[in-house]
Amino acid sequence: MDTYEIWALTTSVVTAILIWVAWYRRIAVFALRCSPRRERWLLAITPLACGGLIWLVLRYWSSPDVRNNWLYLGFYLAMGAAWIGFGAELLPYLGLSPRDDLLERRNPGASIAIAGALLGLTFCFAGCNVGEGPGWWVVLFCAALATAVYALLWVALDRATGLADSISIDRDTAAGFRLAGFFLGTGLILGRAVAGDWVSAAGTLADFARLGWPVLPLWALVAVLERGLRPSAAEPARPALRDGLLPAFLYAAAGLIVLLHAGPAR
C-alpha cells in the first residue's frame, strides 16, 4: 500500500470505530433505561447487515486485485463502514433521528425508516466497488456521486410530501415502511448506476445518467402515492400492511427490476 492508501485506511478505521462505538453505546444506554424493544434490535442489527452486504460485493464482484487480497478487502470494508457511519450521523439533519425518534420516543416507524436508509446507502456504496478502477479515490468519487443524488431525492421527497413528519410527529408505522421501500429501491438503482469498470469521470457521469434515470419516475410515483397515503383526521393510523408494506414492496421491487434489467456491470 502506498502512503495515500495508508492514510485513507487509517482515516476510515478511526472514523468507523468512533461512529459505531458511539452508535452502540447509545443503544446500550437507552436499553438500560427503558424496557427492551424490538426496534432497538433492528437498530443494532442493521449496521451488521450493511457490513455483510459490502463484504459480499467486495468478495465476489470487486476487482480481482481487491477480492484476492485480504488487506484490500479490509481496506474497502473499513471505508464502507466509515461511509455508512457518516451517513448515519447525518440522518438527524435529514429528518430522521435514531436518538430522538426511536430511542427516546420509541417510534417503531422511525426504526424501519432508518434501517431502510442505511441499507439504501449501503447499496450506493457497494455498487461503487463493482468492477475495476485505478484506486480508492475512484470509489470515493462514485460513492459521493450516488450518495449526493440519494440524499437530494430524499430531501426533495420530504419537502413535497412531509413524509418525515408523518413518521416523527404522526408516528405512522406505515409511513416508515413506505420510506424504507423508497430508500431500498433508490439505493438499488443508484448503486447499479455507479457500478462497472472505471474509464473516466466523464464516462462515469454519462453511465450514471444512462442507468440511473429510472430513479426519477420512481421518485414521482412515491410522491404521488404519498399524497393519498398520509395520515388524516379520518384515518390517523394507516394500516401497516395495506398502506405500508405493500407500497414498500412495490418501490423496492421497482429498484430490483431496474437493476436486473441493466444486466451485469462491465
Quote the pLDDT of residue 101.
60
Q: Which of 49, 50, 53, 30 is nearest to 40 (CA)?
A: 30
Query: Which burial class, exposed, middle or buried, applies to 200 when counting CB atoms under 10 A from its CB (0-12, 13-18, 19+)?
Result: exposed
The pLDDT of residue 31 is 59
pLDDT of residue 264: 81
Domain that holds residue 212: 3-262
Per-residue pLDDT, 35: 47
The burial class, CB within 10 Å (0-12 / 13-18 / 19+), for 182 is buried
Closest CA to 143 of 154, 130, 134: 130
Grid coordinates representing 91 are 440522518
| Per-residue pLDDT at 109 | 83
What share of the chain in percent tops pLDDT 90?
64
pTM over 0.85: yes
Count structural domains, the chain. Answer: 1
pLDDT, block means (10 residues), the chain with 266 residues? 88 96 84 58 92 95 90 95 95 82 70 94 96 90 97 95 85 90 97 93 94 96 88 63 89 96 81
